[in-house]
Structure 1
Amino acid sequence: MLEQVGITTEGFAWSGPLLSLLGSTLILFVAVLVIRALFTRFIRRTVHSMELRRKWLVQSRNGLILLLVLGLVMIWGEELRTLALSIVAIAVAFVVATKELILCVTGSLLKAGARSFDIGDRIQVKDFRGDVIDQNLLATTLMEVGPGKIAHQRTGRMTVIPNALFVSEAVINESYTDEFVLNVLTVPFKREDDWVAAQEAFLEAAKRHCEPFLNDARRYMTKLSDRRGLDVPSVEPRVTIHAPLAAEIHLVVRFPSRATQRSFIEQAILNEVFGKSNFLPKKLEDRRPQEEEVEGEEPAF
């Protein structure tokens, strides 16, 4: 009887700390949920910009998840350390099995530390290109932009890429300058086409469509250069010539635009230029001088 009572007493003594840990964990979960609800309500009431609101909602959610993880580690740290001594082999197998997840977390830390991009930026990673609409510890969600790597319209498809790609692949951020961006449009011509006239037409059209905001873009780039210590290129529209193949001439049209009007300005320039002319080669009559006849002169017999 006494032994049975002693065992029961030890059981209750062992379960006391466990109940305390479970209670602390429950309190932590409730506190995090309450804080998130308050943050969400505050952001939805005070932030009117849709882009900024989505950015703060994602950042607050990720911050609370990190807080929850740190709290759980602090609560269960002693038990985890005790348990880890006996499961080293299992831990090694777990690391091997979850290598991709670890790489995703590492990629998330890498992009956060390098500040590669933020919510709303347009990025390209490997063959994936789009606007960032969500990001967490494991994956980044893009609203696809295309088709291809030169178009600026959304396709309506969503792409979820693992953060492990950020460890091994380069990230191209097309929205690094935020408000105003520089766009590059490549138009191919055959060497015999009238590409000289096309070059003048593209330059004139780019200047006309960029004129309303060109001064604002110039001031913005100057301010950006002073703030970040960068040598920002000129925002003046320009058309340069490339000859990638012997039979082709490529006109590279570079022009500034607002970040939200890239596709609109590009299509306006193309429609204006090609709406006036197709720049086909001029037909030249190849006549020898001795075969030319004077107008009105009768041929001699």
Structure 2
Amino acid sequence: MIETFSFVNLTATSIFHTLMTNKIVLTISLILFVMLSKFFLVKLINKKEKQNKRLKINMLGNAVTVFIFIGVFNIWAVEFQKFAISIAAFTVAIVIATREFIQCFIGFVYITSSRPFRIGDWIQVGEDYGEVHSTDWAKLTLLEVDIDAYEYTGKTLYLPNSKLITSSIKNLNFLKRYAMHHFTITRDSTVNPFVFLDQLYVKAYEYCADFNDVAIRYNQIIESRLDVNIAGPDPKIQVATSEIGDTQVLFTIFCPTDRAMAIEQSITADFMSFWFKQKRLMAT
């Protein structure tokens, strides 16, 4: 009986030792453990947290990725070393073949360390605009934004992190709430817009009256944080001419982004009304 128990105990110990020294088993166990931990932590965040859920889940995902990389590297360190030595002659070819992945990882390290933006910020990368949805070691995910209309397009952009190294990054987060909205109305030169320019100013101030106090405070916050003077919050109207001699009226309105297009349409309607009225008076 004792011999049987000893044999079973010895067998169990041998199996356990074999499993613990089997690097494939250790790697699978590590990944399963980390992914299960991530699953339960995500559930906990969704249940307990009321704000910044997406930010915390994204940070958790990045931490899990780094932890898995470190763990797998430690488990297979000896094999990696032997493998690296055995392919020393092909190092240049491997670097060239994996250049994009290396640049992506370097880009991930760059945005993690410098933090030029956060989850939820509006940014511009090259010619692409969008709200930062998530980041990982390979890519940046943006919810595309039509910067002219200040609204989501419904498209999702996946930008490789390597592009973050070679392209300029502009943080447009202030545009999420208020924007310096510019638009131009072009007409022929038969009517002098200076005749009704004061009326246009009255209309512009009228459309901006209900949020003027908030706009002033927000304008001051932006100037304080950026340490620069920016236009606004008062509306500005300028008259110019195009290359072919047409009259151009340029408007600059500091307003909430969700009302920019509505205000533009209202001012355009008023301009057309004044313009055609003046033209009828000139014809009589």
The TM tier, using the shorter chain, reads 0.7 to 0.9
Distance 1:142 1:130 in 2: 5
Distance 1:186 1:178 in 2: 16
Cα 1:101–1:121 change in 2 (3 A) is same
Give 1:97 deviation, angstroms: 0.9
Distance 2:227 2:41 in 1: 36
Distance 1:33 1:189 in 2: 59
Cα 1:229–1:266 change in 2 (3 A) is closer
Q: Secondary structure at the match of 1:282?
A: helix
Q: Which residue of 1 aligns with 2:227?
A: 230
Q: Which residue of 2 aligns with 1:41?
A: 43
Letter in 2 for 1:238: P
Q: Secondary structure at the match of 2:144?
A: strand
1:171-222 CA-to-partner distances (Å, cap 9, x unmatched) read: 22221x3764332222132462444367545544443344333333433454
Q: Which residue of 2 aligns with 1:270?
A: 264
RMSD: 3.2
Calculate the TM-score normalised by the size of structure 2.
Answer: 0.76
Distance 1:96 1:201 in 2: 64
Q: Secondary structure at the match of 1:131?
A: strand
Calculate the TM-score normalised by the size of structure 1.
Answer: 0.73
Letter in 2 for 1:169: S
Cα 1:43–1:80 change in 2 (3 A) is same
Q: Which residue of 2 aligns with 1:150?
A: 148
Larger % of helix: which?
2
Contact kept in structure 1, 2:108 and 2:136, CA below 8 Å? yes
Letter in 2 for 1:37: F
Distance 2:247 2:213 in 1: 31
Give 1:40 deviation, angstroms: 0.5
Contact kept in structure 2, 1:190 and 1:247, CA below 8 Å? no
Contact kept in structure 1, 2:201 and 2:237, CA below 8 Å? no
Instruction: Say if 2:75 is the partner of 1:81.
Output: no
Q: Give matches, 1:167-182, under 5 Å.
A: 167-175=165-173, 177=174, 180-182=177-179
Distance 2:47 2:218 in 1: 30
Q: Give matches, 1:76-225, under 5 Å.
A: 76-146=76-146, 149-175=147-173, 177=174, 180-190=177-187, 192=189, 193-196=191-194, 200=198, 203-223=201-221
Cα 1:196–1:189 change in 2 (3 A) is farther
**Taking every aligned residue pair, what percent have the same amino acid on both sides?**
20
Give 1:107 deviation, angstroms: 2.3
Distance 1:266 1:74 in 2: 55
Give 1:61 deviation, angstroms: 0.8
Distance 1:140 1:84 in 2: 30
Distance 1:285 1:179 in 2: 46
Q: How many residues align?
A: 263
Cα 1:88–1:251 change in 2 (3 A) is farther
Contact kept in structure 2, 1:238 and 1:254, CA below 8 Å? yes
Larger radius of gyration: 1
Cα 1:183–1:225 change in 2 (3 A) is closer
